[in-house]
Amino acid sequence: MIGRVAGSAALAAVLTAGATGAAVHAAPKGEPRWRVQQGPAPRLVGSLNQIEFADERHGWAAGVEGPDNELALWKWNGRKWTRAKAGWGFVPAGLAVSGPRQAWATGVTLSAAHALHYNGKKWREVAFPGPGAPVDLAAAPDGTAVSVARNVFDGTNTVQRWKDGRWRPVKVPLPSGSSLAAVAAFSKREIWLGGSRRVGEDAYESLLLRWNGRKWRRIPLKGTSSQQSKAITKIVVDVPGKAWALRGSTKTKLLRWDGKKAGERGLPGGVGALTLTQDGAGGVWLLPYSRSDAKAAPYLRWSKGRWKSFTGPRRNGVVGLGDIELIPGTSRVVSVGGLQQQKPKEHKFPMLEAFR
């Protein structure tokens, strides 16, 4: 998942940008709609910014909670969410799950990068060699796991794969001026990287690469910009050789690489989006940025060649979303974030919603 930091500028953008401007789809009675999903009790101050599922019975959500903003790890068993024992004091930047006995989390503090591995029984801290801070993390059902890190001081990128119980560096032929921001893993023979590349003093182009099991290939994407609005910020692979991606954080574009060429479409109202996931029916769900006073979460769905706009349940507070994920093998989608409440005290609480 993308390195969305709970309480960071990424989440703040969700609370401050404009509304989508698209017509809202009102689900008739009996049809699926966005509903509140209950988390563990008792509720603690904090928010969630990562969610991943292996299947209907195994999933994890991550964020920060408690008065000291400790790492929060919530486990899904197919019926309910429970709080897992954590005890680490870092903010999660990535979360990945490949099965009931394999999950990973990465994160940062002001002084160090951190990585965890779940073996089916407990989480343990493992070395994160870097250099750089983790920005995204992905895993496939076959156990393949890939992490992307970036050193903001010297601009170097690090790609690592999980092998034999540790993170090991991977050589990727990145062009000069590259800045990685996203990774997706479908299998050991299907890995994607995304970001941007600086091509001039104030010019950037999109960067999208695919590993096919033998070599890395750069996917051709047209256009340059005077700002890093061309950066690929999220990638979702639905079948080998094909992928969905988001380009740019403001006035975001939805890209579709069909194996031969890239199609691109803007979001309704020219808004930006935080992330996306598959919808289980050939389309995708997106989390668009919302108003700073939004009492209900906005959602966008691209399905059968058109956009639909949805609204989550009205909340007693301001909503801020952090991540969204399809439960594999279903059409059920779950989103996580934080709910800012003002009474009796101004606190943010973890929030979950599900489309079902």
User: Looking at residue 29, what is its pLDDT?
Assistant: 66
Q: Which two tokens stand for residue 202?
A: 């104030």
pTM of the model: 0.91
User: Looking at residue 56, what is its pLDDT?
Assistant: 97
The arrangement of strands across the sheet holding 166-169 comes to 133-139, 145-150, 157-163, 166-169
C-alpha 236, offset from chain centre: 10
The domain ranges of the chain are 9-355
User: Looking at residue 27, what is its pLDDT?
Assistant: 66
User: Looking at residue 244, what is its pLDDT?
Assistant: 98
> Residue 2 has what DSSP assignment?
B
Q: If one looks up domain 9-355 in CATH, what number appears?
A: 2.130.10.150
User: Looking at residue 152, what is its pLDDT?
Assistant: 86
User: Looking at residue 6, what is its pLDDT?
Assistant: 38
Residues of the chain under the 50 pLDDT cut = 1-21
Region of 110 (left: φ > 0; alpha: ψ -120 to 50; beta: rest) is alpha
User: Looking at residue 344, what is its pLDDT?
Assistant: 62
Q: Give me the torsion for CA of 132, 108, 112, 106, rounded to 10°.
A: -70
DSSP one-letter string for 307-328: EEEEE----SSEEEEEEEEE-T
Task: Give the Cα separation of 301 and 326 in Å (integer).
Answer: 12
User: Looking at residue 138, what is its pLDDT?
Assistant: 98
Gyration radius from the chain CA atoms: 19
